[in-house]
Structure 1
Amino acid sequence: MTTLFRKSLISAALASTTALPAMAQDISWIYCGDSIDPVHEKYIAEWEAANEGWTVTPEVVGWGQCQDKATTLAVAGSPAAMAYVGSRTLKEFALNELIVEVPMSDEEKAAYYPHIVDTVTFEDTQWGIPIAFSTKALYWNKGLFEAAGLDPEVPPKTWAETIEFAKTIKEKTGTAGYGLPAKTFDNTMHQFLHWVYTNSGTVIDAEGNITLDSPENLAALETYKALVPWSVEGATAYEQNEIRAVFLDGSVGMIQAAVGAAFRLADTDIDWGVADLPLGPSAQGPGTLLITDSLAIFAGSGVEEKAVEFARYITSPEVQEAYEGGGAAGLTPLRPGPAVDAMLEGAPYWKPFIDGIEFGGPEPLFTDYKGLQNVMIEMVQSVVTGAAEPADALTKAAAALEEYK
């Protein structure tokens, strides 16, 4: 067990955590959220009925604590059989031998949208099974566009147009043209990565080389700087959901957000549209950060083989389709199919969330994901606040990431 791993994860653990080892015929599942989804309740019962003598016991833990709890139990030697985790943690868990491999067949891999399997792959092996997926698109306020003299039906298609439109909205209406989130929060890094993947950039390559300090990423950070005067004031006070709230209030012209914003907009009087994320000068096509959460199977529970079997079942196409609910849950579908086709036909606003997958990219896998987040957040904040120039901030961040790759 590495010292870095212990320091970075045990320090975040819940001091009050206690647990007993999983019983021989029970699969314990650390389940993130406020309650168990009814779809999972249904299919757990069906799996138990088909596997006599076996039970699945989910423990519901809030989003802010569930990953720390799974980590604490594993490091202490009393792991849950499986846990819902951010896929970005899988490399860290794998290198410290806390989870077992869950390799996929070529047929299984091919069933997913492109690059989804990459989010759980390290050294050509899969270490988790995707269970939830998120992409982003551009939302714009048509009323503010019209008030600013812009065509309300034509969103920006490039970064340059995004800057131009944001500037026009701010100058003509006095309202922020764009919503840049830069709070000390993980989605500040996530939001920047959408810009990385809409300009064919990367953070780390397959050989483990840091690629952050590149012309493609410099262009992204320079665009951040150019947007600051036309964005919300005090961007470091906002994370993405808070920016979304400002948009829902009609007080910002454009934001990038997940499909959940579309459901919330239905309850407002805002005339809105949604489109592909605008493209940088080096883009090959529509892109987005591909964020997945996965089921990780922990080593040492004594029921690893059966836990893998259950995890494959609970994330199988039939179950996953019901869980995603045709988009009602706000999750981007993991796999294409007739249900997705029907969803796109019934709700065309879904299209950009699917379009961005082809040229999208995964959350980078590092040995210390919190170290990665902190470096990326500091980089973004330094540019947004004017404390550093984009080129200097990018070079500094790239050097800092060497410690965590």
Structure 2
Amino acid sequence: MSITIKTGLVALALLSSTGLTAITAHAADKEISWIYCGDSIDPIHQKYIKVWEEKNAGWKVSPELVPWAQCQDKATTLAAAGTPVSMAYVGSRTLKEFAENDLIVPVPMNDDEKKAYYPNIVDTVTSGGTQWGVPIAFSTKALYWNKDLFKQAGLDPEKPPQTWEEEIADAKIIKEKTGVPGFGLSAKTFDNTMHQFMHWVYTNNGKVIDADGKITLDSPEVLAALKAYKDIAAFAEEGPTAYEQNEVRAIFLDGKVAMIQAGSGAADRLKKTKINWGIAPLPLGPSAKGQGTLLITDSLVIFKGTGVEDKATEFARYITSPEIQPEYELQGGAGLTPLRPSAKVDEFVKNDPSWKPLIDGINYGGPEPLFKDYKGFQNVMIDMIQSVVTGKAEAEAALKKAAADLEQYK
């Protein structure tokens, strides 16, 4: 395979592949090799792999378990070396980079397929007007608050903030009245620092890059988000550049911070504690049009050069279909936000209302921005956030610098 552009993760994968003593061969005819992240195959997937194989005589789906930390790198290394597997589980953030390097095939959706998803989900796998992956996992965020800390600070424990202004004011009061940080802020050199900031961008109708590939970071909406991030840092845990979201969540679970923005995993853990907590939609910025959140999906991608691209695409559509996907998403403890609305989802939310705020933010949510060098984009965003949170740069200057730096990665 000839690769004319080697950017970001693809270049890194090629470097790491130089030390391999053996390379996995091309997928065999009648076999769909699948790099599957984790330490076990989900029982729902095991069940439907068997069903699909029974309906497709002579075909075999062969998942290869790879630990999460190495999963995407392995798939990338093999593809960049010209020895791809048929299909892999990847973060949708990497789809543009894979596509630009001609490593994957498109998986276009028709209008009915697009409409079946919640709004804006398809945007997470779309670049240049084409879909490059099939969503298989989805997460959103909501606001969690400690009701007892609110009460100790003289705030109404049943009234979470609905706007940034209220959120910052509540965080200030809690810090001053109780000595406990009012908000858990992520600013570590870690990918989810960018994710956490994007929740603020999407709760203020902001955008980093538009559908035509124009950088729109330097806008009033994003500037307001960056200033709010700086403002609330004054009432957050000490040294937020040392914390990523899971570390912030751990502080909240210990009752040592009053508010965080987190996904469904926080609710699962909180149900096992004695903390008096609540969950609500993320507070809104002054330019918001409605409840928002960053929409993060993982996808199944189909690699080029295996000879089984069509059949692998067929299987990817099958295993993530509206008939099967909800069974995978809604099983106990899965922690995945549903990709599509349905009667099953309605019943699920009725039985566990903590899911409602995590779903309410989808309508005005936005995707992880797609760049040809995702890690380059991520690092620019983290540098911008850290420079403002630590006071090394003013928000306006940091935003202009970041917008200019992003041009090379779009």
Please give the secondary structure, in 2, of the residue aligned with 1:201.
coil
Pick closer, same or farther for the CA change 1:237–1:113 going to 2, 3 Å: same
Aligned residue-pair number: 405
Give the whole-Å Cα distance in 1 for the aligned partners of 2:145 and 2:134: 34
Give the whole-Å Cα distance in 1 for the aligned partners of 2:48 and 2:134: 17
Q: Is the 8 A contact 2:7 2:97 kept in 1?
A: no
Q: Is the 8 A contact 1:14 1:69 kept in 2?
A: no
Q: Letter of the aligned partner of 1:375 in structure 2? A: V
What residue in structure 2 maps to residue 253 of structure 1? 258
Q: Letter of the aligned partner of 1:227 in structure 2? A: I
Give the whole-Å Cα distance in 2 for the aligned partners of 1:351 and 1:74: 39
Deviation at 1:11, TM superposition (A): 4.0
What residue in structure 2 maps to residue 325 of structure 1? 330
* Stretches of structure 1 lacking an aligned partner (at least 5 in a row): none
Deviation at 1:397, TM superposition (A): 0.6
* 1:321-351 deviation line (CA, Å, top 9, x unaligned): 1110256311000000011110111111111
- Is residue 2:280 matched to residue 1:270? no
What residue in structure 1 maps to residue 378 of structure 2? 373
* 1:120-140 deviation line (CA, Å, top 9, x unaligned): 111111110000000000000
Mapping for residues 52-67 of structure 1, pairs under 5 Å: 52-67=57-72
Give the whole-Å Cα distance in 2 for the aligned partners of 1:240 and 1:101: 33
Please give the secondary structure, in 2, of the residue aligned with 1:317.
coil
- Is residue 2:29 matched to residue 1:24? yes
Q: Is the 8 A contact 1:326 1:340 kept in 2?
A: no
Give the whole-Å Cα distance in 1 for the aligned partners of 2:162 and 2:18: 45
In terms of mean alpha carbon deviation, does 337-346 or 327-336 score higher?
Answer: 327-336
Please give the secondary structure, in 1, of the residue aligned with 2:69.
coil
Q: Letter of the aligned partner of 2:167 in structure 1? A: T
* 1:77-136 deviation line (CA, Å, top 9, x unaligned): 100101001111111111111000111111111110001011111111111000000000
Pick closer, same or farther for the CA change 1:13–1:153 going to 2, 3 Å: farther
- Is residue 2:293 matched to residue 1:292? no
- Is residue 2:88 matched to residue 1:83? yes
Please give the secondary structure, in 1, of the residue aligned with 2:96.
helix
Percent of pairs with identical residues: 67
Give the whole-Å Cα distance in 1 for the aligned partners of 2:403 and 2:253: 36
Mapping for residues 13-52 of structure 1, pairs under 5 Å: 15-16=19-20, 18-52=23-57
RMSD: 1.2
Give the whole-Å Cα distance in 1 for the aligned partners of 2:107 and 2:305: 15
- Is residue 2:133 matched to residue 1:128? yes
Give the whole-Å Cα distance in 2 for the aligned partners of 1:325 and 1:18: 37
What residue in structure 1 maps to residue 360 of structure 2? 355
- Is residue 2:233 matched to residue 1:228? yes
Give the whole-Å Cα distance in 2 for the aligned partners of 1:110 and 1:287: 19
Give the whole-Å Cα distance in 2 for the aligned partners of 1:9 and 1:388: 34
Q: Letter of the aligned partner of 1:244 in structure 2? A: R
Give the whole-Å Cα distance in 2 for the aligned partners of 1:247 and 1:318: 37
2:118 pairs, out of 113, 122, 126, with 113
* 1:337-369 deviation line (CA, Å, top 9, x unaligned): 011110111111111111100000000010000
Deviation at 1:15, TM superposition (A): 4.1
Mapping for residues 83-232 of structure 1, pairs under 5 Å: 83-232=88-237
Give the whole-Å Cα distance in 2 for the aligned partners of 1:158 and 1:123: 34
TM-score normalized with structure 1 length: 0.98
What residue in structure 2 maps to residue 2 of structure 1? 5
Q: Is the 8 A contact 2:149 2:174 kept in 1?
A: yes
Deviation at 1:228, TM superposition (A): 1.3
* Stretches of structure 2 lacking an aligned partner (at least 5 in a row): none
Give the whole-Å Cα distance in 1 for the aligned partners of 2:152 and 2:197: 29
- Is residue 2:383 matched to residue 1:383? no
Q: Is the 8 A contact 2:330 2:348 kept in 1?
A: no
Deviation at 1:147, TM superposition (A): 0.4
Deviation at 1:379, TM superposition (A): 0.8
TM-score normalized with structure 2 length: 0.97
